[in-house]
Amino acid sequence: MTVHDYEALAARFRPVFDRIAAGAVERERRRRLPFEEVRWLREAGFGAVRVPVESGGSGAGLDDLFRLLVELGEADSNLTQLLRPHFLFVEEQLRQPPAAVRDEWLRAVAGGVLFGNAISERESHQVGRSNTTLSERDGRLLLNGTKFYSTGSLLADWITVRAERAPGELVVARVPARAAGLVQRDDWDGFGQRTTASGTVEFTDVEVDPAHVTVWDRDPGVHTALAQLVLLAALVGVARSAARDAAEFVRDRRRSYSHASAPLPKDDPLVQQVVGKIHSAAFAAQATLEAAVGSVRRALQGSRAEVIAAEVDVSKAQVGIADLVLRAVTEVFDVGGSSVVSQEKLLDRHWRNARTLTVHNPLVYKARAVGDHAINDSLPVFAWTTGSPGAA
């Protein structure tokens, strides 16, 4: 898609992004989940931007999707993260060979259907295992267990669930979000990304269609990289939002100091330098993201070597972008005096959101993996689970 084509595509969604941005501070203040905002995106066809035109979508490229996710993240980074399970589902379908089930899912997405997830568990379990089970009883497949960090599930139509069908055999099941026996709770208590609906989902004898069950792929190719890229798009969105707010704060500010370098902050070269550094960090973070997206795009149709390179590139991007953005959102507070920490503007949300996004897939392990690959040509970790030690 050319720059002109992207601008035409983005023009469809920017009015919605603007409406979302207008209410971001108030949603943060009240911790109001964005049900209405997700409805706006659904009605605009945002969830189907990557669905082929012949299936009812926009047929956009991967690069265009991530540029849009950054723009949405600038409006409200919670929305970009909230939609991560949905876009990962769409990408998974696009990587499948043409089939009736695949086409049915893509048409459903084009019709506005959204996907959330229920993958992680807080209860103690062994690494490589799951407390959530999928078992057969009286000819029915039944799902039982409790999940947490279930991003987007409260606002979704379907939920992707990871469960154990036999000891050590993990599967992925998809169930309607309003299925009998399924209960959701809005109990995510993180200090950032507070409106991503990342709370608890409980399954009690939830019936699963056998056609909606697949074996969990422990070597998922670019899936892990794509999952990380969505978080990085949200993080770049935070940087852009912080840069915009910093400039606006300085532009409107009239109070200054007797020892300042200019009568007004907007004319003070030291303040200008701080704002310039924040904007430069946002630019560099987005350029890094776009380079990593390009690497994944090439890997989608490329060799195993390109898949490995893409995973390593995304890990590098994660480490680099996190460093850029965390410094930038901290420097926001250097553009003014005590008024910069006023609850009216909630500028601290940028740091809280960035810090929360950067603890996903811990940076220490990503940096180590990059170093191990550089030194020893080791393979990156394409898939992982959490839990207690003791299992394969």
- Indicate if 105 and 128 belong to the same structural domain: no
For 79-94, the pLDDT digits (tens) are: 999 999 999 999 999 9
Full residue range of the structural domain in which residue 20 is found: 3-113
Q: Quick check: 392 pLDDT over 60?
A: no
Q: Answer whether residue 274 is part of any domain.
A: yes
Domain boundary among 89, 113, 137: 113
Q: Answer whether residue 383 is part of any domain.
A: no
Q: Quick check: 1 pLDDT over 70?
A: no
- Indicate if 52 and 134 belong to the same structural domain: no
Question: Which pTM does this prediction carry?
Answer: 0.95
Through-space distance between the first and last CA atoms of the chain, rounded to whole angstroms: 44
Q: Quick check: 294 pLDDT over 50?
A: yes
Domain boundary among 73, 88, 113: 113
- Find out whether 321 and 236 touch, Cβ atoms under 8 Å: yes
Domain boundary among 199, 215, 231: 215
CA dihedral 7, 11, 12, 18 (to 10 degrees): 140
For 321-380, the pLDDT digits (tens) are: 999 999 999 999 999 888 899 898 899 999 999 999 999 888 999 999 999 999 999 999
Q: Quick check: 384 pLDDT over 90?
A: no
Q: Answer whether residue 340 is part of any domain.
A: yes
Q: Answer whether residue 382 is part of any domain.
A: no
- Give the CATH number of the domain where residue 206 resides: 2.40.110.10
Distance set, CA 85 to CA 65, 174, 202, 231, 356 (Å):
14, 12, 18, 11, 17
- Indicate if 14 and 155 belong to the same structural domain: no
From the list 153, 207, 156, 209, the residue with the least C-alpha distance to 180 is 207
Q: Answer whether residue 242 is part of any domain.
A: yes
- Indicate if 81 and 135 belong to the same structural domain: no
From the list 322, 313, 320, 311, the residue with the least C-alpha distance to 358 is 322
Q: Answer whether residue 387 is part of any domain.
A: no
- Indicate if 77 and 181 belong to the same structural domain: no
- Indicate if 233 and 344 belong to the same structural domain: yes
CA distance 124 to 282: 39
Sign of CA dihedral 261, 266, 269, 275: positive
- Indicate if 325 and 244 belong to the same structural domain: yes
Q: Quick check: 390 pLDDT over 60?
A: no
- Indicate if 73 and 163 belong to the same structural domain: no
- Find out whether 257 and 264 touch, Cβ atoms under 8 Å: no
**H/E segment holding residue 329:** helix 304-331
**Residues facing 176 on adjacent strands:** 158
Q: Answer whether residue 194 is part of any domain.
A: yes
Q: Give me the number of domains the chain comprises.
A: 3
Would you state the pLDDT for residue 138? 94
